[in-house]
Amino acid sequence: MSTALSSSLPAPTTRSSRRNFIRRFGAGGTTLAWLTQVLRAETPANPAIPSDLLFTSTKRLAALIKAKSLSSTELVKATIARIEQVNPALNAVVFPVFERALQEAARADEAQAKGLLMGPLHGVPCTIKDSHEVQGVRSTGGTLGRKDFLPARDATYVARVRKAGAIILGKTNTPELTLSGQTTNLIYGKTHNPYKLGYQPGGSTGGGAAIIAAGGSPFDLGTDFGGSIRGPSHFCGIAGIKPQFGRVPRTGHIVDFGGYFDPFQVIGPMARWVEDLTLLLPLISGPDGIDAAIAPVPWSEPGKVDLKSIKVVMYIENGSEKACTPETAAAVKRTAALFTALGVTVIEDCPKALIKESQELRNALSTADGRAWTKRLLKKYGTSQISPVISLTDQPQCDTAEFARLAQEMDLNRTKFLQWIKPYDLLICPANAGPAEPWPVEPRWTPPARGNYGYTATFNNTGWPGTVVRAGTSPEGLPIGVQLITKPWREDVSLAAAAFVEASPGFGFQKPTAV
Task: Given the residues 51, 131, 204, 320, select the one marked as catalytic.
Answer: 204
- Cα-based angle 272, 491, 316 (whole degrees, multiple of 5): 75
Q: Report the alpha-carbon distance of residue 355 to residue 315 in Å, rounded.
A: 12
Task: Check 77, 129, 171, 242 and give the catalytic one.
Answer: 129
Does residue 233 have an active-site annotation?
no
Q: How far is 240 from 222, CA to CA, in rounded Å?
A: 8
Q: φ, ψ for residue 43 (rounded to 5)?
A: -115, 155
Helix H or strand E encompassing 421: helix 400-421
Sign of the dihedral defined by the CA atoms of residues 54, 268, 232, 211, in that order: negative
Structural element, H or E, at residue 492: helix 491-502
Query: Could you tell me the sign of the dihedral formed by the alpha carbons of 223, 227, 228, 230, in that order?
Result: positive
Alpha-carbon distance of 387 to 142, in angstroms, equals 9
Q: What's CA 31's distance to the chain center, in Å?
A: 30
* Inter-CA distances, 159 with 95, 128, 352, 438, 461, Å: 19, 11, 41, 36, 28
Q: Which residue among 72, 139, 228, 494 is the active-site one?
A: 228
Is-catalytic flag, 320?
no
User: Crossing angle for the helix pair 352-366 and 400-421, nearest 10 degrees?
Assistant: 150
> H or E segment at 167?
strand 167-172
Is the distance from CB of 189 to CB of 474 less than 8 angstroms?
no
129 is catalytic: yes
**Residue 110 and residue 118: Cα distance in Å, rounded?**
12
The rounded distance, in Å, linking the Cα atoms of 204 and 68 is 37
Using alpha carbons, select from 318, 303, 309, 305 the residue that is nearest to residue 339.
Answer: 309
Catalytic residues, by residue number, are 129, 204, 228
